[in-house]
Structure 1
Amino acid sequence: MAFIVTLSASELKANLDKFRIEQRLTKSRPKSLSIDAALDGPPIALLIAEEPTRPGRERSRWLAWIGIVARHGTVGAVEKSITVDPLRECADAVPLDGPGGILQDIPAVLREEFDSASLPGSVGACSNAVWQSLESALRAARPELGPLLDWLIAQSDPPVFGSSPADQSWQEQRDATGNLLRMADFPLSALAAWRRPLSEDEPYTAGLIPQPVEHSLIDYDVRVAGEAFGMFSEWQHGNAFRCDIHVLRDASGRQLEVVNVNATPVESRLGTDMLYYHEPTRSFVFVQYKRLDPDTRSIYVDNRLRRQLDRMEETAKLSSLPAQPSEWRLGNDPCFLKLAYWPKNSEKRPIQELAPGMYLPVSYIRLLLDDECTRGKRKNSEARILGYEQVERHLTGTQFIDLVKHGLVGTVGTTREQLHALVKQRVSAGHSVVVGTEFSEESVRVRQTRTRDRGAKRRAYLHRTYKQNPTA
C-alpha cells in the first residue's frame, strides 16, 4: 500500500531544512484510518505538496519526498501516527496533476482512489494497486528515480531468514553490520537494503543495495579508496577469500569502512566475528556471536567454546597500558561474546534492528563458569550453561554500544597491522568476519559531544561499494 502525506507548499517550505537534516518524519493520522487489514505490498510513503486551490482551477500537487513507513503507533486517544524512516528527497519535484502530471498515466478509478487519500494536511492510505500503477508511471517518466525506488523497496521488504546454514550466517552478519553502524553513528538504513546473493557462500554485504548518491555530498572526492583497501586488497582477488567493502562518509568527513570477508563454504563455517576499530584512538572491540536456543534462550558450553575463550584472552593481550586519560578503559576486556537469539516467526520489519541478546566480557564469563549458577540442572551434572536463566547481569545492546561510542571499552594502542593479522587469523580459522574501521579527525572532546547530543543530527551520507572481482 501507499501512505500519502499531503502538506501545503508553505508547510513543506517551512519544514524543508528539518527534513533534510533528519531524513525522517513522524506525522499524526486520523484514528479512523484503518490500515492494519490493508497492509498489502511495500509500505511506501509519498510526501506531496499542494498549492492553494483557486476557484475554477484543478488541484496542483507534486511529489517531493519518498520514504518507507517504519512503524505506525498510537499517539493519543484521538490520533495515531506513522513514522517514515528513511525519507528521501526527489532531486526534482514530480508534477502529479495537469497535462504533464504522472497521474494522467494511471487508470481513472485508481486516480480517484489516490485523490481521496490525499486530502490537504492529512495522512491517507491507498491500495497496493494504486502504488503499483503509480510506480510504473514514475519509473517511465523519471528513470533517474529508479535506483532510489529500488533502494527503498528493498528495505520495505526485508528478508525472512530460515534455518539453513546460509540464512543463519547472513542473519548474524546482518546483525554485526547493524552494530557497526550504531557504534559509528550512521543510520541503520545505510546497510538495510538487501537481496539474497547468488551464492550461499557470499558474505552478507554482497547482497546490499547502496543508497543513490546524496546530492549534498556529491562534491566529496571518493575516487581514492580508504585505508581498508590497502589492508585487505589481496582479498579482493582470487578464490581463497570472498570479500566486499562498503564505505560510508557523512557530511563532516567521518568515514566508516565495512569489510565482510570469509574463506570457508557456509556448511563448514564456524560462526561470525565482529570487530570495530576506531582509528583515531587505535582501539578495537571484538565480538564473537553465539546463537541461543530460541526456546530456552541458552547455550551449552563445550570444549570448543572454552578454547575460543582462551584465544580471546590472547587477543586481549594486543592492548597496551593506558598512558593518558583518553586511553583509560573500564576494564581490560576488549573481547565479548554476544549470546543472541532470533525469536521464531518474528515479524518482518522494514528497518534493520539488532537481535536481542546479552553481551558478556570474557573475564565475566570465566567467573560465571566457575559459579554454581551455570551448572546443569541434573544432579551432579558437570555441564555448564549460559543463558538468561543462568546469567543475572549482562550488558544489553544499547549499553554495550554506548560504552564503545564513548571509548570506555576496547584495546589501547593497537595498530591497523595488528587488526589485519587478527582478521586474517579469524577468517583462516573458518569464521565469517565483519570488520568496521572508523576514520575521523574528531578530537576526543568533539567525539564525546557528538555522542551525547540527543538532538536532531544530519543523517546524510555517501555510500560506495567495492566488490570482489567476479572474474578472479
Structure 2
Amino acid sequence: MTYIVTLTSVQMAKNEDDWLITQRFTKGLPTGLDTSESGTRLALLVCDNRSHPSNSGRREFSEHGRFVTWIGSVQRFNTVGPVDSSITIEPMRRCPKPVPLDGSDGILASLSSTHRAHVERALTGSAGHIGRRTWQALHEAILRYSPELAPYIEWLFANLNPVVFDEEDPADKAWQEQRDAAQLLTRVTDFPHSALSAWRRPASRDAPYLAGLVPEPVENSLIDHDVRVGLGGDGPRFDDWLGLGDARCDIHVLEDTDGRRLEVVNVNATPVESRLGTDMIYYHHPTHSFVLVQYKRLGSRDKEYRVNKQLLDQMDRLESVSKLSSDSVHPHEWRLSRDACFLKFAHWRDRATTNSELAPGMYIPLSYARILLNDDCTRGSRGGRLFSYKRVERYLVGSDFAELVKLGLVGTVGTSVEQLRDFSLERAREGYSVVLGVETSEETPRERATRVRQRSAKKRPKVVSYSPSAPQRQASDAPDF
C-alpha cells in the first residue's frame, strides 16, 4: 500500500518544526482500513489548504488547494485497542517544493479518471491508501512536476527494502558486520540511525560498506548555512585517506546545528576472502578517548563461538591498546576500568531485518573475557573453550554498551588523533575491516552528560548527512520504481 495522510494547514504548521527534528509521525487510521504490509509502504503527507490558506505560514501555500509536502516510509503498523490501528512514518523528509494536487497545474489533472478517483478516495478523511498501479501513475506525475524528488524516493525505498545477506558469502558477511558497526556508532553518538541505513551492494566485493550507501537527500541550504556557520567550515579530518593507494576508504559525515559532527571512515585494505573480521573504533575528540569493538560471529544454529589460537593472538594484540592510555587526572577522565577493547559475539536472525537494527550479541570487555577463559563455565565437553549465552552469565547488550560510552565511563585516556590514525590503518592493513567514527564538538563533559540524559527527541538539533567524496546525485541518475 501507499498511504496518503491529509492534514489541514493549521495541523501541518503545528507539526512541521517537530518533524524536522524527529523525522517521525504516528497517525491513527480509520477503522477498517487495510494495514497489510504489501506494496510500497510509502506515505505521502498532504496539506489541505482549502479552508485556512492564511494560517499555513509558508508562502508556497498562498493559494487554495492541496499539496504533497512531506514523504516518508511506513516502518511500523501499530494496534491501538481491539479495533483501532495506526502507522508510524519514519524516516520522513520535507519535499524540496510542495507538489500541487488541484487546479490546472495540479498533478491530479494528468491522471486517468480511474487513478484520479482512487487518489481522491484516499484523500477523503484523514488517511487512506492507494494500490500499486495508481501509485505508479501518481509517482510518474510527481516526478514530472518535481524531478528533484527522485533521490528522496530512492532513499526511502532503500530504507524500506533491506538487503538480505547470504550467510555463506564472505563479502555479505563482511558488509553485515560493517553495517552493524556503523549503526553502533549512531547509538553511541545519538545521531539518526537512518543516515547510515539506506544501502545497496557495491559493485566490488572488496569495497567497504559505506561504498554502497544510498545518499540521503539533503537541502544544500542546510549544509551551507545552518551547519557550516556553526562549524566554521572545517572539512573532514580523514579526507586525505580517500587517496590511500593500498586501501579502499569511504567517508560519511553527520553534522548538527549545535556544532557536533560524526565523521565515519570505513577502510578495507585486504581482499574480502582474507579478512580477519571487523573492528568498530569510536573516538571522542573532546576527551581524547577511544573504544574498540571487535566482531566475532556466534554459530547460527547453536549460538556458540569456539575459541581458537587466532582469537587468543588477537586478544594479546588488543591488550597492547591499554599502553596508549594515560592515567586519569581530571574527573571526566576516570573510567570504570582500563578496558578500552570489547569483543562482540554477535548473531544475525534468519530473516530480513531493518537496515538500522543492531545484531543481537554479547559485549564483553577484554579483561572479563580473560577471566571467562580461565573459568570452567567456558570449558566444553572435549576440553575446548566456548563463548555462548548459556556459558556467559553476565554480559553487556547494545544499549548497555552505548550508555557507558556516551557517558565516558569506558575508553582510553589522553589518546591523540595521530595515535588513532596510526592504529586504525595498522588494523586495516593487518586484515580487518575498520569502521572508525570520530566525534568532534565544543561540548564540555557536563554538557555531554546533560545531552545524553535528555531523552526528548523534540529538543534535538537538525542533522544533515553527506559523503564528501560522493556529491548528491542528480534526479536523472536515480532508478525508476
Q: CA deviation at 1:460?
A: 2.6
Deviation at 1:78, TM superposition (A): 3.2
Q: Is the 8 A contact 1:186 1:459 kept in 2?
A: no
Matches within 5 A, 1:326-345: 326-344=332-350
Q: Does 1:317 align with 2:323?
A: yes
| Structure 2 equivalent of residue 43 of structure 1 | 41
Alpha-carbon distance change, 32 to 459 in structure 1, aligned in 2, over 3 angstroms: farther
Cα distance in 1 between the residues matched to 2:179 and 2:14: 37
Q: Which residue in the other structure is 2:445 paired with?
A: 444
Contact 1:277–1:284 (CA under 8 A) maintained in structure 2: yes
Bigger mean CA deviation after superposition, 209-218 or 263-272: 209-218
Corresponding letter in the other structure for 1:460: K
**1:459 CA drift (Å):** 5.6
For residues 18-68 of structure 1, the C-alpha deviation after alignment (integer angstroms, 9 at most, x for no partner) is: 2223221011223422222x612x3111111113469xxxx9311010011
Equivalent residue for 1:192?
Answer: 197
CA distance, structure 1, for counterparts of residue 349 and residue 8 of structure 2: 43
Q: Does residue 158 in structure 1 map to residue 141 in structure 2?
A: no
Q: Secondary structure at the match of 2:278?
A: strand
With normalisation by structure 1, the TM-score equals 0.92
Question: TM-score normalized by structure 2?
Answer: 0.90
SS across alignment from 2:164: coil
* One-letter code aligned to 2:421: H
Match of 2:434, SS state, is strand
Aligned partner of 2:302 in structure 1 is 296
- Superposed CA RMSD in Å reads 1.9
Partner of 2:82: 77
Q: How far is the alpha carbon of 1:218 from its aligned partner?
A: 3.3
Aligned residue number for residue 15 of structure 1: 15
Match of 2:105 among 78, 83, 100: 100
Alignment of 1:386-405 (within 5 A): 386-405=387-406
The SS at the match of 1:73 is strand
Corresponding residue of 2:2: 2
Percent of residue pairs identical: 48
Structure 1 position 382 matched with structure 2 position 383: yes
* 2:161 paired with 1:172: no
When residues 73 and 103 of structure 1 are mapped into structure 2, their CA distance, relative to the original with a 3 A threshold, is same
How far apart, in 2, do the equivalents of 1:106 and 1:160 lie? 36
Stretches of structure 2 that go unaligned for 5 or more consecutive residues are: 53-63, 472-481
Give a deviation string over 1:248-305, Cα, whole Å, max 9, x none: 1111111110000011111111110000000000000000000111221111000100
Are residues 160 and 151 of structure 1, via their aligned partners in 2, closer, same or farther at CA, if it must alter by over 3 Å?
A: same
Are residues 1:26 and 2:26 paired?
Answer: yes
2:55 matched residue in structure 1: none
Corresponding residue of 1:268: 274
SS at the partner of 1:290? Answer: strand
Letter matched to residue 28 of structure 1? G
Contact 2:35 2:77 in 1 (8 A): no
Alignment deviations for residues 54-101 of structure 1 (CA, whole Å, 9 cap, x no partner): 9xxxx9311010011111122222321211111111122110122111
Paired AA for residue 466 in structure 1: P
Question: Shift in Å at residue 238 of structure 1?
Answer: 5.1
1:463 aligns with one of 465, 472, 475 = 465
The answer to whether the Cα contact below 8 Å between 1:276 and 1:435 also exists between their aligned partners in 2 is yes
Shift of 1:393: 0.9
Distance 1:53 1:443 in 2: 49
Shifted more, 235-244 versus 435-444: the winner is 235-244
**1:462 Cα deviation from its structure 2 partner:** 2.1
Alpha-carbon offset, residue 451 of structure 1: 0.6
Give the one of 194, 211, 215 matched to 1:206. Answer: 211
Quick one: which of 354, 357, 374 aligns to 1:353? 357
Q: Does 1:369 align with 2:410?
A: no
Deviation (angstroms), 1:468? 9.0
- 1: distance between equivalents of 2:333 and 2:283? 14
- Aligned partner of 2:411 in structure 1 is 410
Asked if 1:227 is matched to 2:241, the reply is no
Amino acid at match of 2:162: P
SS at match of 2:467: strand
Where does residue 146 of structure 2 map in the other structure?
142
- Name 1:126's counterpart in structure 2: 130
Q: Provide the residue aligned with 2:475 in structure 1.
A: none
How far, CA to CA, are the matches of 1:387 and 1:108 in structure 2? 61
State the number of aligned residues. 453
CA drift of 1:439 comes to 0.4
Contact 1:217-1:251 within 8 A present in 2 as well: no
